[in-house]
Amino acid sequence: MKLTLLVAALPAASTALPTWPWTKPHSKPLKYPGLDVLAKRAGLLYFGTAIDNVVLDNKQYISIARNRSEFGQVTPANGQKWMYIEPTQGVFNYTLGDQITVPATRAGQLKRCHNFVWHNQLPEWLTSANWTKPALVKVLENHIKHEARHYYNDCYAWDVVNEAFDDDAAASLRKDIWLDTIGAEYIELAFKFARKYTRPGTKLYYNDYAIESVNNKSSKVAAMVKDFKKRGVPIDGVGLQAHYTVGRAPSYDAQMAAHKLFSRLGVETALTELDVRLQLPDNSTAQALQAQVYADSTKACLDADDCVGVTVWDFWDPVSWVPDTFPGYGNADIWDANFTKKPAYYAISDLLRSYD
């Protein structure tokens, strides 16, 4: 997903903190250990955040984003996507990706790298050409080779292929340059190229949205994973993006079923882009419901056998991608515009402490 800066002022949110069932409401900030510290104590590998380049000049934002006690893992939200990495064929520019990964390395944060292959945010030289299958396969391998080698020592995991399945009722493969030119084989080729050029031990993920419950789409992804495992195509994990809406998010039980769907195939899972949008203007009731969704999602990861971590798709409301994509919705993150921790933050924190 793409993050962009909000231009319009955010509507004022209620300052009343609601009561949720697992703890008393917080009337003032409490000095708890950060979310990553608590997540590790609870048995996860990390609690992390996406970071976009558009906000790197905000010192208060960076002080939180680079606080390893809060976020032990970082995902470049946009800087490693094809249009920025290879804007001209054969010419590679790692500036935007490095702006996220280099400080994360200095801070001792893991990196989930994102992504090698997607239907979106592709450069014009790639989308406007009339490719043959062999030529496009070479382009695909060359891109993965160069990007993987540049970030060879940096990435705990790579989202190798992102959002390959469509939103239609059949959850068919998405028609795009890759499917139209190479065919369905492009997905396994991408994973094979990724294994060839990434550091041994790097986790290779398929990443998608609307697979956080058992449905046609998640079943199609599971069938692909099962086929890959049977034929020796390298795949280590499935990323559940977890972009949710208050009032329409899958339940804890539904999310647990999705984790089990994939873990029984021998791959790990992770929540890779968690946010919970709500209809604006928000209020204390909406914030309480939002907090419950964040807690339920984190709890499902904690209780699943092979879920390794949770990544929020940024943590600060003003840089959320939601308002531009879903007009009338927003405030999807766990810090508000004033850098105040929201009920959702405390819901996650309290839940993680309960596992300590």
CA distance 237 to 161: 11
**Residue 191 located in a structural domain:** yes
Sign of CA dihedral 335, 299, 52, 244: negative
CA distance 278 to 326: 10
The radius of gyration of the chain from alpha carbons, rounded to an integer in Å, stands at: 20
Q: What is the pLDDT of residue 32?
A: 72
Identify the weakest region by mean pLDDT among 20-24, 185-189, 205-209: 20-24
Q: Are strands 329-330 and 268-279 parallel, antiparallel or unpaired?
A: antiparallel
**Residue 9 located in a structural domain:** no
Task: Write down the mean pLDDT value for the chain.
Answer: 92
Residue positions annotated with a catalytic role? 163, 273
**Where in the sequence is the domain holding 83, given as residue range(s)?**
35-354
Among the listed residues 29, 27, 30, 18, the one whose alpha carbon sits nearest the alpha carbon of residue 287: 18
Q: 58: alpha, beta or left, given left = phi > 0 and alpha = psi -120 to 50?
A: beta
CA distance 213 to 251: 9
Task: Check residue 247 and report its DSSP letter.
Answer: T
Q: 103: alpha, beta or left, given left = phi > 0 and alpha = psi -120 to 50?
A: alpha
Task: Check residue 318 and report its DSSP letter.
Answer: G
CA distance 262 to 211: 10
Q: What is the pLDDT of residue 30?
A: 54
**Residue 203 located in a structural domain:** yes
Digit-coded pLDDT (tens) for 162-185? 999 999 999 999 999 999 999 999
**Residue 339 located in a structural domain:** yes
* pTM, two decimal places: 0.91
290 pLDDT more than 60: yes
Q: What is the pLDDT of residue 25?
A: 44
Task: Tell whether omega for the bond before 130 is within 30 degrees of 0, i.e. cis.
Answer: no
SS3 286: helix
Q: What is the pLDDT of residue 31?
A: 66
**Residue 149 located in a structural domain:** yes
Among the listed residues 89, 60, 38, the one whose alpha carbon sits nearest the alpha carbon of residue 315: 60
Report the largest interatomic distance among the alpha carbons of the chain, rounded to a whole angstrom. Answer: 62
Digit-coded pLDDT (tens) for 4-50? 333 223 233 333 333 333 344 444 455 679 999 999 999 999 999 99
Q: Are 118 and 97 in contact (CB under 8 A)?
A: no
CA distance 162 to 159: 6
* Encoded tokens for 266: 């021998």
**Residue 13 located in a structural domain:** no
CA distance 108 to 166: 37
CATH number of the domain where residue 207 is located:
3.20.20.80
Q: Which residues pair with 269 in a beta bridge?
A: 238, 307
Q: How many structural domains are present in the chain?
A: 1
Q: Are strands 110-117 and 268-279 parallel, antiparallel or unpaired?
A: unpaired
**Residue 2 located in a structural domain:** no
| More reliable by pLDDT, 255 or 21 | 255
**Residue 14 located in a structural domain:** no
Among the listed residues 122, 52, 35, the one whose alpha carbon sits nearest the alpha carbon of residue 83: 122
> What DSSP element (H or E) covers 205?
strand 203-208
- Please report, for residues 271, 334, 339, the alpha-carbon distance to residue 316 in angstroms, rounded to integers and kept in the order given: 18, 7, 7
